[in-house]
């Protein structure tokens, strides 16, 4: 089977998996708790299906003008949803610690803004004056996504580091969601970086690998999230009772301090 055929197979799995995940979140009532994540999958179904359907029915490929404009107009929304999903994930992890949560979210907004701005500013001198306006927007969007991805990667690593340091009781759904989204987003960011550095030489390999992993993560979300998963609590890491109590006391103290500072 050719690379293009394999990509199409994984795209079909991704569309079906996205629809099933959105349906699962809705029927289980989890969409009330994972609102942004649910909205992301509702958007992801047509976002992924439209190019696939048009390619099969009208012969419009990824190099067509339609896909070019489709990418330009839809990519900003995808970038925004990526940011909001990470914010929601961070809030779910720290929902008992609003002081730490608030500080972290503002730090992430600042980091994303600075990273995206720096990435765009470093690109602008490389855009020729004769470059058509639509192509300029495409370059700017790719640069912005690269900057946003870098900031979000660092933030996701911060979340993972936080979870390995503090034994916060979390629902199994939050732990599963964090693990899957970390793999999903980190791989996407790495693929974008490699494609930027190596150019079109790895386009086919990158598209195949990213589509396969995206499909696998989508199926994992569908099968891994459940209404019962909200009731099952997981402590990570497992520590001795005295160590766990001491570390949580430190976190409570930090949270209380940040709440007092934020209220002044």
Q: Map out the domains of the chain with their CATH numbers.
A: 3-263 (1.20.1070)
For 205-232, write each residue's pLDDT tens digit: 777 788 888 899 999 999 999 999 988 8
**Verdict on whether the full-model pTM lies above 0.85:** no
Q: Are 225 and 25 in contact (CB under 8 A)?
A: yes
CA distance 136 to 139: 5
Highest mean pLDDT among 49-53, 116-120, 168-172, 227-231 belongs to 227-231
pLDDT band at 22 (very low <50, low <70, confident <90, very high): very high
Q: How far is CA 166 from each of CA 36, 83, 94, 101, 259, rounded to the nearest angstrom?
A: 25, 24, 11, 14, 19
For CA atoms 37, 38, 43, 47, give the dihedral sign.
positive
Of 85, 7, 4, residue with least CA distance to 44:
85
For the chain, give the mean pLDDT.
Answer: 80
The percentage of residues in the chain with a pLDDT greater than 90, rounded to a whole number, is 19
pLDDT at site 39: 95
**Is residue 262's pLDDT more than 70?**
no
| Both structure tokens of 175 | 């732990």
């Amino acid at each position: 089977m050719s690379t293009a055929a394999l990509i199409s197979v994984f795209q079909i799995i991704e569309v079906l998996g996205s629809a099933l995940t959105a349906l699962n979140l809705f029927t289980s009532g989890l969409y009330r708790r994972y609102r942004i994540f649910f909205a992301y999958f509702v958007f992801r179904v047509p976002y992924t299906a439209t190019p696939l359907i048009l390619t099969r029915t009208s012969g419009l490929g990824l190099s067509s003008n339609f896909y070019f404009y489709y990418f330009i107009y839809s990519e900003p929304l995808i970038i925004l949803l990526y940011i909001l999903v990470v914010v929601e994930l961070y809030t779910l992890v720290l929902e008992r610690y609003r002081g730490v949560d608030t500080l972290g979210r503002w730090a992430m907004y600042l980091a994303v803004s600075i990273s995206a701005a720096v990435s765009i500013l470093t690109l602008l001198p490389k855009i020729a004056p004769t470059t058509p306006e639509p192509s300029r927007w495409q370059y700017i969007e790719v640069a912005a996504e690269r900057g946003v991805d870098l900031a979000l990667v660092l933030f996701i690593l911060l979340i993972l580091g936080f979870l390995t340091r503090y034994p916060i009781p979390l629902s199994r759904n939050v732990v599963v969601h964090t693990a899957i989204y970390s793999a999903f987003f980190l791989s996407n960011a790495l693929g974008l970086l490699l494609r930027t550095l190596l150019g079109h030489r790895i386009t086919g390999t990158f598209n195949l690998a990213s589509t396969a992993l995206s499909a696998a993560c989508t199926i994992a979300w569908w099968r891994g999230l459940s209404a019962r998963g909200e009731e099952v609590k997981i402590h990570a890491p497992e520590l001795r009772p005295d160590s766990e109590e001491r570390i949580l006391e430190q976190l409570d103290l930090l949270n209380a301090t940040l709440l007092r500072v934020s209220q002044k």
